[in-house]
Amino acid sequence: MEFFTGIWTYVAAFLVVLTVLVFVHELGHYLVARWCKVRVETFSIGFGRELFGWTDRAGTRWKFSAIPLGGYVKMFGDADPASTPDASNETMTPEERAVAFHHKSLGQRAAVVAAGPAANFLFAIVVFAAVFTLQGQPFTPPVVGGVIEGSAAQRAGMQAGDRIVRINGEPIERFEEILRIVQLNLDNPLNIVVLRNGHEIDLTAAPSFVEETDASGNAVRIARLGVKSGGQMEFVQYGPREAIWRGLTETWLQTTGTLQALGQMVAGERRTDDLGGPLRIAKMSGDVAQGGLAAMIVFMAVLSINLGLINLFPVPMLDGGHLLFYAIEAVRGRPLGPRALEYGFRVGLVLVFSLMVFAFWNDLVHLGIVRYVIGLAS
């Protein structure tokens, strides 16, 4: 229950992280909407009752609301923050149609919707590039310093001093990349090429699972290859051009890694207790904040990627659901009817709410709150 020790530190860190990410996401929608000459009525951080805000010269109400778990941009012609078409769209004047979201072309509407997730990915690229320029990217040479007795690496014939050059055909530059690949491949065999005495040697190793206890006292299964690093971690700084490329690469690796892990959960190959909700994000935000500003900013970049990915899922209520409807409209040559949209949003609401409940339950278990309550009752 150490999460509740200094809880306001965690709350403050969580609110900072969430506010920045929501602002970035909604700013993407806002900027492209204005570029498409759509009138934006509201830009809200949070939901519910307005706490404070202001109205700019374009007539947009910028505000902070009471429930700080998201945000929205409400455009002219929307009935609600979910961008459901308002009935007034049928009776608008030509001047109003010119600035109404739902009277824009299909391409413009799709661009406005896609701009939110795109802003999240762009934010991550910029953050990684800035950190790699100013502080540097963590870099440990992929040299084996030691092989654990009885491990998959030992069974494969790996030796201290080997330099790992490729895994499953993927070039390896840093020891950190080995850790990422092992965790994503679970216990599947890995084709590993090592450089030993100037010669490349092909090895095959199937990582094994080990049970460890995390900081909250929960047993977690981790895939282990069984090699120790043989080099000292350094921070390698790059020039702006190389840093942007490295930031783009890191964003791509984080994106594909997340999608692969989700696919493994759907296939039953990975446990779903890795899914976390707001409580776990708050816990991680507080922990990372204690590591300094750079760690906090990198954590925001990783979460921004996840936020962008989640919003691209083809689920009504999310940006991906709207894009799915637009794809159907492009095929049909006309929008879906009001009833189809209504049922779609209802299904989306159920799916999103169910996922939130599931993630929240995972948080309660992961943070030891369920175990603590059971202990009080027994």
Catalytic residue among 26, 173, 176, 211: 26
Shortest CA distance to 110 belongs to which of 287, 328, 304?
328
Task: Give the length of the chain.
Answer: 378
Residues 18, 301 contacting (CB under 8 angstroms): no
DSSP 211-271: EEE-TTS-EEEEEE--EEE-S--EEE---HHHHHHHHHHHHHHHHHHHHHHHHHHHTTSS-
User: CA–CA separation, 119 vs 206, rounded Å?
Assistant: 38
Exposure pattern of 29-41 as b/e (b: 16+ CB <10 Å)? bbebbeebebbbb
Residues 29, 73 contacting (CB under 8 angstroms): yes
Phi, psi angles (nearest 5°) of residue 139 = -140, 115
Phi, psi angles (nearest 5°) of residue 208 = -110, 155
26 in active site:
yes
3-state secondary structure (DSSP) of residue 371: helix
Paired with 222 in beta bridges are 210
DSSP 56-72: -TTS-EEEEEEEEEEEE
**Terminal CA-to-CA distance of the chain, rounded, Å?**
17
CB atoms within 10 A of CB 215: 11
3-state secondary structure (DSSP) of residue 292: coil
User: CA–CA separation, 245 vs 240, rounded Å?
Assistant: 9
Shortest CA distance to 164 belongs to which of 148, 186, 179?
179
Paired with 143 in beta bridges are 163
Return the residue matching tokens 């065999």. 189
Phi, psi angles (nearest 5°) of residue 368 = 80, 10
The set of catalytic residues is 26
